[in-house]
Structure formats: C-alpha cells, structure tokens
Amino acid sequence: MTSLPEKVRNWIGTPVVTLAPVMTVDQGLWLNFCVAVEDGNPLYWSRAGDTEGSEPIAPPAMLPSWMIDHEWSPEPDHVPLRTLEMHFMLKDELDLPFGVVTAVDLEFHEPVRAGDRLRAEQILLEVGDEYQTRMGPGRRWSIAVHYYHQNDTLAGIQTLHFVSYRKEEQQS
C-alpha cells in the first residue's frame, strides 16, 4: 500500500476544478450527434415553437459535450482546457501518465435546451491504493462532474471511473 500525498487527500470531496460556460447549447450542434447515432427522437428534432410549452431538448447523452472547450479560438492566447482537468492533475501528481475509463455513470436531471449555458464542477470522489496492473503500478480513482444550468439547477452528474498506471520501464 502506498500512501496518498496530502495534496491529493485534500482534493477529495471538494470541487477543485470549476468550469465557466464555454458555449451556448445549440440545436444544430446536437442534431449532428443525433445523425451520428441515428436517433430520430422527435423531442430532439422538433423545431422551437412547433408545440407551445414544449421546446426541443438536447440529447441527454451529450451533457458532457457542452463543457468541452473549443479546440481553437480567435483569442491568440487561448489554450484549450483539458477535458477532465481533475484527472490530468491526478495523473501528474501521482506520476501515473496513462489512464483509461473503465465505467461511466450518467444521472440526468433538468433537461438541457437551446440557449442554455452550462457550468461544471469536478469533484474527486476517491483514490484507491496503488496496486500492480498488467501494465505496471497503478491506481483506481473516480471523479464526479456536476453540470449546472445558468440558474444553478442541476442538469446532471457524470461519474467517471478510471484506472491509471505507469509502464514498468517508466517508473521514476
């Protein structure tokens, strides 16, 4: 068993990474996703104003996509945020440069609609003891991402479970 650095222990259970909105939710963007997965659900395809009191909603599975930073920006100093910064911070801090997602939990709350601007918080839930993976020393960890609407209602929670490791020849 390898103890966890104090810095990492202090990350557990608190929103260490908070993300401001990166874009405005747009039906044209989510219809590209519907095409990719051949999803003809009329709740996603209906046009705004077609049915009074029933605006189209974004596919729930796209929830995390709305918080992925633009790969390029007209701002010359723009450096895209890493998609799951908390995960990269852990990999760096624990010297475990390779990580794979083993399971994903998605919990959906208030639907997302065109014009919404979401924000997110990344929370480290747990970090397991170091153990020997097939590739080398590694650890398991879980990170929850809470997505909020502009009025602070919860849009959903994504929890990602990882195994991260370093290859034997890369041990420092």
Q: Which of 147, 139, 101, 103 is nearest to 123 (CA)?
A: 147
Integer Cα distance of 95 and 48 in angstroms = 49
Q: Which of 61, 78, 117, 168 binds another protein (CB under 8 A)?
A: 61
Q: Which of 55, 85, 88, 108 binds another protein (CB under 8 A)?
A: 108
Q: Which of 55, 110, 121, 130 binds another protein (CB under 8 A)?
A: 110
- Inter-residue contact 21 to 155 (CB < 8 Å): no
3-class secondary structure for 129-167? CCEECCCCEEEEEEEEEEEECCCCCEEEEEEEEEEEECC
Q: With CB under 8 A as the contact rule, which of the stretches 11-19, 39-47, 89-97, 116-124 interacts with another protein? A: 39-47
Nearer to another protein, 9 or 167 (CB): 167
CB of 9 to another protein, least distance (A): 27
Q: Which of 6, 52, 71, 169 binds another protein (CB under 8 A)?
A: 71
CA dihedral in degrees (118, 80, 145, 120; nearest 10)? Answer: -30
Binding flag, residue 106, another protein (CB under 8 A): yes
Q: Which of 24, 41, 51, 73 binds another protein (CB under 8 A)?
A: 41
CB of 18 to another protein, least distance (A): 19
Nearer to another protein, 21 or 111 (CB): 111
Instruction: Lay out the site mask for another protein across 85-104 (x = CB under 8 A, - = otherwise).
Output: ----------------xxxx
Integer Cα distance of 168 and 172 in angstroms = 9
Question: Which residues, 6 or more positions from 36, have their beta carbon under 8 angstroms from its beta carbon?
Answer: none
Binding flag, residue 125, another protein (CB under 8 A): no
- As given in the structure block, the two tokens for residue 18 are 């908070």
